[in-house]
Amino acid sequence: MALSKNTPKYVISFSPAQAGDISSAITKAGGQVRRASKGAGVATAYSADADFATRLLASPGVRSVTRDIVVRWIDPTERGVRATSATTPPKATAGRGIGDNEGFFAYQWAPKSIHAPEAWQLGARGTGVRVAVLDGGMNNNHLDLKGNVDVARSTSIVDGFTFNQEVDPDGFSHATHVGGIIAAQDNSKGTIGVAPGATLIGVKVLHEGSGSFGDIIDGIIYAATSIADGGAGAHVINMSLGATFPSSADVNVLALTAVMNDATTFAHDQGVVVIASAGNGDRLGRGIDHDQGNDFTLPAQAAHVLGVSATAPEGFILGATNFTKLASYSNFGTSIVDLGGPGGDFDFPDPNVYVFDMVLSPGTIYPEKDGYFFAAGTSMSAPAVAGVAALIIEKMGLVRNPGAVETKLRSSADDLPPIGFDKFYGSGYVNAQKAVQ
């Protein structure tokens, strides 16, 4: 069957025990299989046949056949501000330990706020832990990431692109920035990630901030599938992406949400810790209280996903140390937030000051492949938590036990006011040092 650029794509949920050969059923119904996972009970397919969904639904074990939709998953205002020579020391200087000899370390308040340097001093690096970054194109050749990315297992779910392709006229790469927060290596050159010894897997599910439900679902399943079975073999999945829908969303969105739950449940059952950003608020940049019940945000509220809110200081370059202040844009609510992490903000009135309240990390694909950017968002807080999860997994002996890792993340987090599980920080603000002690 010849496919055109506009051939409809479908997301399919099925019972592996009842459906038998799902690929054969899709073909007989007039479709072309894109990806299929018997373990997850999820498939995606193309079909230009108007009766495809009806015919496939008549097949044994097929639960749902839903037309895929494209959504904007990354806030278009979540842009990077390029770090210039004015903020860069001329060269790295000898430090007392890991991290402080990186050229940009003086501006990295985020790892310091979660006590990552103290965790490094205890020997924690995240070595051997595999973290899949579901995002746009990641620059695996950036000097802070080169060698920490498993290129062989990185992939693009987005048709027509490789995992490291992205288009951004400003040079900012969201995926590269996120990857650097997790695992920028200790090389005495630029920045350092929370888990500098971890291995990154770039899984491109977005292009220019948008992507389909089906691509994200396929990306989750690929990342969680073992290497032996052709997947990425991830221990942790980080999704610094999110879309907010009204609770009155149409049946198509609700059906796709159900299949996303299937995918994240599959990942959890494979022993993978799944982490996602809680989202950057409404159109005015104000955080949404999800406990009001008017909205829901995916994938943070999908099954077995840890949602992360964002915090930031206000005037870091002037000496502020209030790192756990909830960011002005961060979504909140006990129904979405499990943990808090450093995400940065732009709340200070002077842009020459607030830029340093943002999170600094690698972020360039073109034209300067080794550039650095300040950026703010729950996209920046989620990977900090993913980095701490990697440190815990290393400490536990590379276990695949998401329940145990989650328990450790929660029990070691700093319980900030209001005391107890709350709508701003969930179980608390992550603490890397306590997590590995």
Specify if 231 maps to a domain: yes
pLDDT in tens, 292-328: 999 999 999 999 999 999 999 999 999 999 999 999 9
pLDDT exceeds 70 at position 90: no
Residues 437, 300, 157: CA angle, nearest 5 degrees? 105
Cis peptide before 117 (omega within 30 of 0): no
What the block records as the tokens of 19 is: 């459906």
- 95 and 24: one domain? no
Burial class of residue 56 (count of CB atoms within 10 Å of its CB; 0-12, 13-18, 19+): buried
The pLDDT value recorded for residue 94 is 43
Residues 325, 330, 336: CA angle, nearest 5 degrees? 110
Helix pair angle (402-412, 378-395), 10° resolution = 110
State the residue range of the domain holding 419.
81-436
The CATH number of the domain holding residue 298 is 3.40.50.200
The pLDDT value recorded for residue 126 is 98
pLDDT, averaged across the chain: 94
CB neighbourhood size of 160 (10 A): 8
- 170 and 262: one domain? yes
Q: State how beta strands 155-156 and 210-212 pair.
A: unpaired
Average pLDDT over residues 411-421: 96
Number of domains in the chain: 2
- 50 and 187: one domain? no
Whether 150 contacts 198, CB under 8 Å: no
Specify if 2 maps to a domain: no
- 359 and 429: one domain? yes
pLDDT exceeds 50 at position 206: yes
- 122 and 29: one domain? no
DSSP bridge partners of 7: none
Per-residue b or e along 187-224, where b marks 16 or more CB atoms closer than 10 Å to that residue's CB? bbbbbbbbbbbbbbbbbbbbbebbbbbbbbbbbbbbbb
The pLDDT value recorded for residue 271 is 98
Block residue for tokens 């897997």: 201
- 229 and 369: one domain? yes
> Nearest to residue 134, comparing CAs of 33, 274, 270?
274
Whether 79 contacts 173, CB under 8 Å: no
Confidence of residue 91 (pLDDT cuts 50, 70, 90): very low
The CATH number of the domain holding residue 30 is 3.30.70.80
